[in-house]
Amino acid sequence: MSLNAQDLETIAGANEVVIETRSGDRVFRTVIWVAVDSDDVFVRSVRGHAGRWFQRAIADPEVALRVENTSYPFTAVAVTDPDAVERASEGFRGKYSIGRSLDAMLRPEVLDTTLVLEPST
């Protein structure tokens, strides 16, 4: 499945989304922030490596984002390119209000939990 412009707009326009992760047969749903830059959908763990949803996404990268009543399947891929990490940070800065919550998403110790979500079938 590829995302069309409407899908990207819907995801980008959501203040919060639900990420579905798995551990064995169990599905977990967690409310998170998302940033879209061009065709890239970025997420990041505000709790760094301690974030349970992040740990599950690394262990089993087949995840889904639920926005409104639609589920979008993705494969979570760790972002290692510093420029892409910065694009994600810029996306969060441009989307969310200045304050402690945004500051928490931009702390140096959480930057390496940036994931890009690649559409999957």
Report how far residue 111's alpha carbon sits from residue 26's, in angstroms, rounded to the nearest whole number: 28
For the full predicted model, state whether its pTM sits above 0.85. Answer: yes
pLDDT at 1: 58
SS3 string of 36-54? EECCEEEECCCCHHHCHHH
**Domain containing residue 93:** 5-118
Domains of the chain: total? 1
pLDDT at 2: 76
Mean pLDDT, all residues of the chain: 96
CATH assignment at residue 113? 2.30.110.10
121 pLDDT higher than 80: no
Q: How confident is the model at residue 58 (pLDDT cuts 50, 70, 90)?
A: very high
